[in-house]
């Protein structure tokens, strides 16, 4: 699997935690980490000079890989009142048609696309565990193993988050037929985590877990899992994505979903609240203080008509956030960050919402998503810093917009005026995975994926 080994990189421009630096020499260690960084250096013999500005690759904190196969196929109008809930019926149809080979092929294609979009790592929120009628595979971890394989094949870093899912709504409502492939009781779920822990460790992948939502688990089930899970990694949960969820939560408990979560669960830096779209001022302030990451998926939230996260106030209060691609109607850093800012502008009818006076919006939101993404996937360090994993993006220095830009203009051009094609090369853990816009297994991955799409037609 080792491709293009490198020991020392030289970048004319590199985005360090302190900002853009020039003539930067970066030494890598044998495990794919950053051993040293020196600025204002002459290029030395044996250095590999990168072909454009060097930035950190971001972690994508939220993915349901199989949904990439249906992206773009839920855009036919129904009753005139289409919503997340009608989209979900289309998603359940896809679930009923895919087998483990298909899921691995879809995930490999998706992870390759994510690499090309500027992500070096993905947190896979994995709830498709069983066959269409709910029967477990002979190895109950089969679907998880396919995700681990797809990440290994493509070389993207993985935080695997098996998802606990048991109910259709608040208060332990019995699941419906479409949800059968997702279901566990706590004991079987804990056994899945036990089985996956050594495999992830051997692969250099991180294991956390998720509770699908407050709809899908009772408080007792959540507490059992929290107490007994043999996993120290991140904990993710979908919360307050839809106003209907807020109404159902109020009807069930008298409390809103984020309010309930913060009251009843030990939410801290280990947690990632996916979406958290619908917040009162008090919920927003409490979430910001908790140290948890808000996992925002702006393209999916726009596609599903979810709503707009209150990012201006939340960031001003020190809240942490990162970005995910969720249903994968978009797969790039640029598209998600651009939509994050644009949602705020459209709501407020003002420009440049997420940066302070004089600051670059591109740099501000890139830096926030870098730090929040790393935390949400369980990494202790982020960015181009000694001790961090060597996950880099090389922007195309031959692109005139990039060639003529300096400092944070590079990020603002990439994120607001260009797109995924700006990403030329991508390194993960010290190895090049994308070179000049291509993955070394591109043809094989595309062929397998095309077969799946033909089957789903
Ligand atoms: Zn999701």
Tell me the β-bridge partners of 5.
431
- Residue 177: per-residue pLDDT: 92
Each residue's pLDDT tens digit, 367-412: 999 999 999 999 999 999 999 999 999 999 999 999 999 999 999 9
**pLDDT score, position 80:** 78
C-alpha of residue 166 to centroid of ligand 1, in Å: 16
* Average pLDDT for 235-240: 98
Tens of pLDDT, residue by residue over 37-69, are 999 999 999 999 999 999 999 999 999 999 999
Residue 225 has pLDDT above 90, yes or no: yes
| Residue 3: predicted pLDDT | 46
Residue 1 pLDDT greater than 50, yes or no: no
- CA–centroid distance, residue 358 to ligand 1 (Å): 35
What length does the chain have? Answer: 457
Give distance in angstroms: CA of 212 to centre of ligand 1.
8
Q: Quick check: 421 pLDDT over 90?
A: no
Return the structure tokens found at 281. Answer: 């001022």
The β-bridge partners of 389 are: 33
DSSP 440: T
List pLDDT tens digits, range 69-126.
999 888 888 877 888 888 888 888 888 899 999 999 999 999 999 999 999 999 999 9
Average pLDDT over all residues of the chain:
96
Confidence of residue 419 (pLDDT cuts 50, 70, 90): confident
Q: How far is the CA of 303 from the centre of ligand 1 (A)?
A: 13
The predicted structure's pLDDT at residue 6: 63
**pLDDT at residue number 124:** 98
DSSP of 101-117, one letter per residue? HHHHHHHHHHHHHHHHT
Top pLDDT among 97 and 299 is at 299
238 C-alpha to ligand 1 centroid (Å):
6
Helix axes 100-116, 142-154, angle to 10 degrees: 30
Q: Give 135-174 pLDDT, tens digit per residue.
A: 999 999 999 999 999 999 999 999 999 999 999 999 999 9
| C-alpha of residue 27 to centroid of ligand 1, in Å | 37
Cα gap 237→234, rounded to integer Å: 10
CA–centroid distance, residue 296 to ligand 1 (Å): 10
275 CA from centroid of ligand 1 (Å): 8
State the catalytic residues: 275, 326
List Cα–Cα distances, 107 to 69, 110, 119, 253, 272, in angstroms: 9, 5, 14, 37, 22
**Gap from CA of 376 to ligand 1 centroid (Å):** 14
CA proximity to 365, closest of 336, 345, 392, 385: 336
Distance 267 CA to ligand 1 centre (A): 19
Question: Separation of 419 CA from ligand 1 center, angstroms?
Answer: 23
pLDDT at 448 over 80: yes
Half-sphere exposure of 318 (CA within 13 A, CB side): 5
pLDDT at residue 301 is higher than 90: yes
Distances (CA, A) of 122 to 14, 145, 362, 443: 23, 15, 21, 22
Give the distance (Å) from ligand 1 centre to CA of residue 110.
Answer: 15
Q: Give the chain's domains with CATH numbers.
A: 8-56+389-442 (2.30.40.10), 67-376 (3.20.20.140)
Return the pLDDT at 2. 44
- Please tell me the predicted confidence (pLDDT) of residue 89: 83
Q: Encode pLDDT of 196-211 as tens digits.
A: 999 999 999 999 999 9
Whether 341 shows a pLDDT value over 70: the answer reads: yes
Whether 451 shows a pLDDT value over 60: the answer reads: yes
Pick from 380, 278, 345: nearest CA to 294: 278
pLDDT at 5: 52
């Amino acid at each position: 699997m080792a491709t293009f080994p490198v020991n020392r990189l030289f970048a004319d421009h590199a985005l360090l935690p302190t900002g853009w630096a020039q003539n930067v020499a970066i030494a890598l260690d044998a495990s794919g980490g950053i051993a040293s960084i020196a600025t204002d250096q002459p290029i030395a013999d044996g250095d590999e000079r990168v072909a454009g500005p060097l930035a950190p690759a971001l972690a994508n904190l939220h993915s349901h890989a199989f949904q990439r196969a249906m992206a773009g196929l839920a855009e036919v109008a129904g009753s005139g009142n289409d919503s997340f809930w009608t989209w979900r019926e289309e998603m359940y149809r896809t679930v009923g048609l895919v087998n483990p080979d298909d899921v691995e092929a879809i995930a490999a294609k998706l992870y390759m696309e994510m690499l090309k979009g500027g992500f070096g790592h993905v947190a896979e929120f994995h709830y498709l565990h069983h066959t269409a009628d709910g029967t477990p595979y002979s190895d109950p971890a089969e679907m998880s193993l396919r995700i681990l394989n797809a990440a290994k094949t493509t070389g993207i870093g993985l935080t695997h988050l098996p998802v606990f899912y048991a109910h259709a709504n608040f208060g332990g409502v019995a699941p419906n037929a479409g949800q059968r492939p997702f279901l566990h009781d706590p004991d079987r779920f804990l056994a899945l985590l036990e089985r996956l822990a050594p495999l992830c460790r051997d692969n250099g992948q991180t294991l956390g877990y998720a509770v699908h939502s407050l709809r899908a688990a009772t408080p007792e089930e959540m507490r059992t899992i929290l107490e007994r899970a043999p996993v120290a990694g991140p904990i993710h949960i979908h919360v307050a994505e839809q106003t209907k969820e807020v109404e159902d939560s109020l009807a069930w408990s008298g409390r809103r979903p984020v309010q309930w979560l913060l009251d009843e669960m030990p939410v801290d830096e280990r947690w990632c609240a996916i979406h958290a779209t619908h917040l009162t001022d008090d919920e927003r302030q409490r979430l910001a203080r908790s140290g948890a990451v808000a996992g925002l998926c702006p393209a999916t939230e726009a596609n599903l008509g979810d709503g707009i996260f209150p990012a201006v106030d939340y960031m001003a209060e020190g809240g942490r956030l990162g970005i995910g691609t969720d249903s994968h109607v978009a797969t790039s850093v640029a598209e998600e960050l651009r939509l994050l800012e644009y949602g705020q502008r459209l709501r407020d009818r003002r420009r440049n919402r997420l940066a302070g006076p004089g600051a670059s919006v591109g740099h501000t939101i890139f830096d926030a998503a870098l730090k929040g993404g790393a935390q949400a996937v369980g990494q202790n360090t982020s960015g181009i810093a000694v001790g961090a994993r060597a996950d880099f993006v090389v922007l195309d220095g031959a692109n005139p917009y990039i060639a003529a830009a300096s400092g944070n203009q590079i990020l603002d051009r990439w994120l607001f005026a260009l797109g995924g094609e700006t990403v030329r090369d991508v390194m993960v853990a010290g190895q090049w995975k994308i070179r000049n816009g291509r993955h070394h297994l591109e043809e094989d991955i595309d062929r397998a994926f095309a077969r799946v799409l033909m089957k789903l037609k």
